[in-house]
Amino acid sequence: MTANISAQGGEAQINLFEILAENGKESLTITPFELNYYESLLDHTVRLSLQVADTGYRTKTSENAVAVRSKDLDGRHVNLKITDAYQNELKFLDENKLRISTKKGIQESVNKMFFTLHLTSSEYHDNPKLRCAVTKNYDGHPDESVKRILKEYIQTKKNIDADPTLNTLSFTGKSQSPFYLCTWLASRSVPNIQNANQNLAGYFFYETADGYKFKSIDKLFAQTPKRKIIMNQVIGEIPPGYDGKILEHSFVETFDLNHLMRYASGQSQIRTFDPFSQTYVQKDFNYQNQYKQNNIGGTTPIEYGKDQNEVVSRYFAHLDTGVKLPGTVEEQLKQSNKVNYNPYDILRQAKMRYNSLYNIKLSIVIAGDLSLRAGDLMYCDFPEVSGEKLKVVSSEKSGLYMIHDVCHRITKNGFFSGINLVRESIGRKPF
């Protein structure tokens, strides 16, 4: 970890913003006066929004200049490079280039034009095309299927970072879009870690500046924190042992007992019917089976009252016994009593893991840091709320949090990173 991140707004430089020459249109170099870069665990693409002021100055005639500004930007590719004060870089060049998705808010005067450009990855615009519709059959581990889909249909050359899965799954594309299927597989994947079977499930599929990610929630929480930061009111140097300060923060307190009991806490019950054996089965699952100390943000699950830890949600599932088995017809007949997708092992675990992840939500602003990505961990310390002059670190609010969304914002006033963090439990783990 670095040890010299300023407690004030950081600095960043837009080294390159080049709209590439396409379809007989000339390349353009633009200097935005404001840039926002976004990543999220729930987004299939990185996103940029840029505020641009164009004075119309060109070596060509003013008529051509207006045509370049208003029409020739739409849908074109962009090379972008940004560097912060700590030499962290965001690079979207060549095969990793971005595409102008929308142009909004055009305000024009006699000698000046203001507008906003929104950019996304090129693959994001390829995803809905008919030529990318997934039609093949896939067998084996979901992480390998994700890699094949992205390479065969989206034909991406970006890095694909996929956590190995414990389970296998056979399915047919059914002409669905690649990103839809990758997200569908994320909710049907069990991480290949100890004691995961029948206890843990749930992945995220998303894009960062480093490429595509297919990551287990539990493995994300097992990472080493990227930064250790503190919230205090002392002006000056950063306290020893910390990388930076939290400039602003707010906890999102949203307590809804009915929602929590139904989706995120207590026990769940699943009921299934097996058409092969004509049997009905009912099984319970305790949410505490998912709380492994190495795979959660805090130390203690959130309790909502002992009387609430009963059966709180029910699912009725139809087992797909004998459906979509791999191999030849003869091989399929030999294992016709096999279940392709077992809801006992995956369905409840994934649903509860996704919902419990949002038990605690925190928004912070720090000095800009381009090295931070969606899915990274941060260690945040907060003072205990009390009337004492000597503040101590809160043992409940402080600790590990996962970056759910991050926005790197460059303006004339400086460079800041706005971050939304989440975790499912309370308590401060040692660091």
209/207 Cα distance (integer angstroms): 7
Position 260 scores a pLDDT of 64
* C-alpha of 206 from chain center: 5
* Unique residue bearing structure tokens 């879009």: 177
Position 265 scores a pLDDT of 54
Q: Which residues contact 116 (CB under 8 A, 6 or more apart)?
A: 49, 50, 51, 52, 103, 104, 105
Decide whether 12-122 matches 127-220 in CATH topology. no
DSSP assignments along 361-387, one per residue: EEEEEEE--TT--TT-EEEEE-BPP-S
89/122 Cα distance (integer angstroms): 20
Position 219 scores a pLDDT of 96
Identity (one letter) of the amino acid at 43? D
Position 347 scores a pLDDT of 83
- For residue 186, the 8-state DSSP code is H
**Does residue 164 contact residue 192 with C-beta atoms inside 8 Å?**
yes
102/129 Cα distance (integer angstroms): 18
Position 400 scores a pLDDT of 96
Domain range summary for the chain, segments of one domain joined by +: 12-122, 127-220, 257-354
Position 95 scores a pLDDT of 86
Percent of residues in the chain assigned helix, strand, coil, to nearest 5: 20, 40, 45
Rg (alpha carbons) of the chain, rounded to whole number: 25
Residue 388 corresponds to which tokens in the numbers above?
């004492």
226/56 Cα distance (integer angstroms): 43
Q: Which fold has domain 12-122?
A: Elongation Factor Tu (Ef-tu); domain 3 (2.40.30)
- Name the residue among 288, 294, 287 with its Cα closest to residue 218: 294
Strand pairing category for 47-54 and 34-40:
antiparallel
Residue 72 corresponds to which tokens in the numbers above?
């020739």
Identity (one letter) of the amino acid at 210? D
- For residue 26, the 8-state DSSP code is P
Residue 42 corresponds to which tokens in the numbers above?
């729930």
| pLDDT tens for the 431 residues of the chain, in order | 444 444 456 788 899 988 888 776 778 787 788 899 999 999 999 999 998 876 655 544 444 443 345 566 778 899 999 999 888 999 999 889 999 998 877 666 666 777 889 999 999 999 999 999 999 999 999 999 999 999 999 999 999 999 999 999 989 999 999 999 999 999 999 999 988 988 899 999 999 999 999 999 999 999 999 999 999 877 667 888 899 999 999 998 665 666 666 655 556 677 777 777 777 777 777 667 777 778 889 888 777 655 555 545 556 566 676 667 677 767 766 667 677 777 778 888 888 888 889 889 999 999 999 999 999 999 999 988 665 655 678 888 999 999 999 999 998 888 999 999 999 888 898 87
- For residue 236, the 8-state DSSP code is S
Position 346 scores a pLDDT of 86
- Name the residue among 191, 209, 207 with its Cα closest to residue 199: 191
Residue 10 corresponds to which tokens in the numbers above?
């950081």
CA angle, residues 171, 352, 211, in degrees to nearest 5: 60
**Does residue 221 contact residue 297 with C-beta atoms inside 8 Å?**
yes
Residue 290 corresponds to which tokens in the numbers above?
């998912």
DSSP assignments along 246-299, one per residue: EEEEEEE----HHHIIIIISSEEEEEEEETTTTEEEEEEEEGGGG--GGGSSSS
Position 177 scores a pLDDT of 97
| Domain covering 127-220 in this structure, CATH number | 3.55.50.20
